[in-house]
Amino acid sequence: MFNRTPVHEIPDTPLGASSYTYAEATWTQTLPDWIGSHVRMFTFFDGVPRLIVPDNLKSGVNRASFYYPEINRSYGVMAPHYGVGVLPARPRRPKDKAKVENGVKFAQSCILGRLRKQTFFSLTEANAAIAQMLERINNHVMRRLGVSRRNLFETIEQAALAGLPTEHYEFAEWRLARVSTDYHVEFQSFFYSVPHSLIRSQVDIRATARMIEIFHRGKRVAVHQRRYGGPRYGTDPAHMPSSHRRYAEWTPERFRRWGASIGPQTEGLIIAILTSRPHPEQGFRTCLGILRLYRDIGHDRAEAVSARAVDIGGLNSKTIASLIATYKGKRPSTEPAAVVEHANLRGPGYFH
């Protein structure tokens, strides 16, 4: 179906009374695609049912149980936004979602069967073809009832649906994180500040396409514009203490003393790292990484690596690790040793 893109999913969602059906193609069944399909489905129906019965895929249900199903946090936040209840089907009980099972078979024959010989070069192109098939399916007059799915939907179900909220739900990913000694938390290789009093505390990160929100014990303590490029650190000046040294176990002076205990070259490297950052505390991670790397090598080797790192401007852990791996020490000289004075050696005066 897809040119050079063999992996795809087609979620199928019929309504309970009319079997009015929505389907679309997605790249995966991961959480962003799963929730995005729900948002587009509600828009397609122009309303929200009172209850949805999903399958027990991991994107929606963390733990399947008849009595206490554990809903994925992001999925669980989406449901109250639309005012819809989520009642996952029981494991290995296809009759709990008989409409969906029948809809999947119908979609396989009426959508995949009709499109199986076509080649699509984008997801948008594939979904446009699926939309045409859906129009045909929903307008088709069912033999047993003598009416179409669309007709049943418009006469029976549409009025029973709740209205859509004024704003579409924006997908948000939740992560647990621990605040580092530089009062920043990491999300996808970028760092965002929190109040310095939360150093070493566990926080919740809520990430949308535009924003990073950080919560501590249910209270929002920081909000940042999400970063995709540029500087890796997003620091709110209000989060910085008047004196950083009072609030962290690691201080610039402590790192400098540790570098000096190895040698002047390592001390110089530490100072260069701390001064190269907008705030010295942002260099703590790099210094801690170097501390870990230098545990397994001797002081002479560490000094040589530090000197080389300063010379080339490699003020990060990745460069230090590479220099350690390629360090070969001083090679013995291949030049002959200098001639020394000896009683048996004849000087140039002997020949005159």
CB 51 within 8 A of CB 85: yes
Tell me if 236 sits within 8 A of 226, measured CB to CB.
no
pLDDT of residue 2: 40
Q: What is the mean pLDDT of residues 274-285?
A: 78
Mean pLDDT on 162-174: 88
For residue 257, give the amino acid letter: R
Which helix (H) or strand (E) segment holds residue 21: the answer is: strand 21-23
Q: Does residue 305 contact residue 290 with C-beta atoms inside 8 Å?
A: no
| Residue scoring higher pLDDT (222 or 231) | 222
Lowest average pLDDT, out of 162-176, 210-224, 244-258, 312-326, goes to: 244-258
Q: Is 26 helix (H, G, I), strand (E, B) or coil?
A: strand
Sign of CA dihedral 91, 96, 97, 102: positive
**Residues with Cβ within 8 Å of residue 228, at least 6 apart in sequence:** none
Give the mean pLDDT of 25-51: 88
pLDDT at 73 over 90: no
Tokens of 260: 């000096």
Q: Given a cut of 90, is residue 203 above it in pLDDT?
A: yes
Residue with more model confidence, 346 or 55: 55
* pLDDT of res. 214: 97
Confidence of residue 266 (pLDDT cuts 50, 70, 90): very high
Is it the case that residue 190 has pLDDT exceeding 90? Answer: yes
The overall pTM is greater than 0.85: no
In the block, which residue shows the tokens 């948008």? Answer: 124
Cα–Cα dist 252/256, whole Å: 6
Averaged pLDDT, 103-128: 80
- Residue 265's pLDDT band, with cuts at 50, 70 and 90, is very high
Q: What is the pLDDT of residue 194?
A: 95
Among 28-32, 164-168, 250-254, 320-324, which is the least confidently predicted range?
Answer: 250-254
Return the pLDDT at 346: 67
The residue among 101 and 194 whose pLDDT is bigger is 194
- pLDDT score recorded for residue 205: 96
Q: What is the pLDDT of residue 74?
A: 83
Residue 210 token pair: 């535009």
Instruction: Show Cβ contacts of residue 307 under 8 Å, excluding neighbours closer than 6 positions.
Output: 265, 268, 269
> 3-class DSSP state for residue 274?
helix
pLDDT value, residue 207: 93
Supply the pLDDT for residue 195. Answer: 93
Tell me: pLDDT of 186 over 90: yes
As a whole number of Å, the end-to-end CA separation of the chain is 98
Q: For tokens 């260069």, what's the residue?
A: 272
pLDDT of residue 340: 57
pLDDT band at 347 (very low <50, low <70, confident <90, very high): low
